[in-house]
Amino acid sequence: MPENRPARVDAHGEQLRLLHVHAHPDDESSKGAATTARYVAEGVRVVVATCTGGERGSILNPAMERPDILANISEVRRAEMDAAREILGIEQVWLGFVDSGLPEGDPLPPLPPGCFGLTDPAESCRPLVALIRQLRPHVITTYDENGGYPHPDHIMCHRVTMAAWEAAADPEAFPELGEPWAAQKLYYHFSFHYDRMMALHEAMLARGLESPYAERLQGWQRDPEHQARITTRVPCAEYFGVRDAALLAHATQVDPDGSWFAVPLEVQVEVWPTEDYELARSRIGSTRPDGGLEDDLFAGIAVPAPAAGQVAGAARE
């Protein structure tokens, strides 16, 4: 947070608190990381809950395919998470579940026994309920019902978060886990949607550059109903560099020469300067201005910051 900049607060004068719930280490850097960096800079307390350790994740950066890394992938990924956490300026909690891996084949093989994807969310929500009651977040984010993409851990992350959203506020649920806390809003990440991808694709072609999205967009028909789910666009382009640095900290998962970084930063800033979300649950009603789009996850919660002149005037008094 910039020096001498006050923390953002709610109507009671409490520092705003944001909880991101993610499936694996690296998800916090590939989904909403620029939003995270913006809020950290504004004095919001941001905590990431990571459901699994990524133990069964593949190495996606060819430069990291070494025997010593393969033999110690759990420790390596924890160290990567530590580095990303420092870059983003967040707190981070491991919920303690075991990575399910991404099943491949036809038919798909069964998930490994004991993995996160096979848990019962009514019970496996317990550590998240405990965290919510301890942290008392104003806002929670997670993935939609499809997990953002159909990885079993992402889908279970959604189910566990939704169960915890309800249970944490229920005084009769898990009373041993602390005093109930009802978070005010819950959002789904809307990171890789058609409109954003097509806009970046066309911008690359217009500049005579090769688009990393050409193959993916072939045959992908725009779904107006899916696009209409976006309720919130958070301006955060000035933090895209922080996002990229956090991504690169996950060196086993991100190839610096791969598609993540194929679109120049200046193109992203010009063409799509926001990260996008769907307001999926709200306990304070609609916070969308005249049915339009929000530009702040804390809309309806945060006390508006005083104008610069007001701050200066108050300092002189």
pLDDT digits (tens, 9 = 90+) for 180-193: 999 999 999 998 99
Which pLDDT does position 304 carry in this prediction?
Answer: 86
Whether 257 has a binding-site annotation, put simply, is: no
Percentage of the chain beyond pLDDT 90 is 87
Give whole-number Cα distances, 171 to 162, 166, 167, 198, in Å: 16, 10, 8, 46
**Could you give the CA distance from residue 317 to residue 219 in angstroms, rounded to a whole number?**
63
Q: Which stretches of the chain are DSSP H helices?
A: 27-30, 33-41, 67-71, 73-88, 121-124, 126-135, 152-168, 194-206, 214-217, 224-227, 240-249, 265-271, 308-316
Which pLDDT does position 305 carry in this prediction?
Answer: 67
Whether 193 has a binding-site annotation, put simply, is: no
Asked if omega into 180 is within 30° of 0 (cis), the reply is: no
pLDDT digits (tens, 9 = 90+) for 225-236: 999 999 999 999
Q: What is the mean pLDDT of the chain?
A: 93
CB 245 within 8 A of CB 87: yes
Whether 250 has a binding-site annotation, put simply, is: no
**Could you give the CA distance from residue 258 to residue 89 in angstroms, rounded to a whole number?**
25
Which pLDDT does position 291 carry in this prediction?
Answer: 78
Which DSSP state fits 302? B
pLDDT(6) > 90: no
Per-residue confidence band for 209, with pLDDT thresholds at 50, 70 and 90: very high
Q: Could you tell me the domains of the chain?
A: 17-193+230-316 (3.40.50.10320), 194-227 (no CATH)
CB 177 within 8 A of CB 129: yes
Q: Which residues in 281-295 are b (16+ Cβ under 10 Å) and which e?
A: ebeeeebeeeeebbe
Q: Which stretches of 169-296 are DSSP H helices?
A: 194-206, 214-217, 224-227, 240-249, 265-271
Amino acid type, 255: D
pLDDT digits (tens, 9 = 90+) for 27-78: 999 999 999 999 999 999 999 999 999 999 889 999 999 999 989 999 999 9
**Could you give the CA distance from residue 53 to residue 46 in angstroms, rounded to a whole number?**
20
| Cβ-based neighbours of 203, under 8 Å, separated by 6 or more | 263, 267, 270, 271
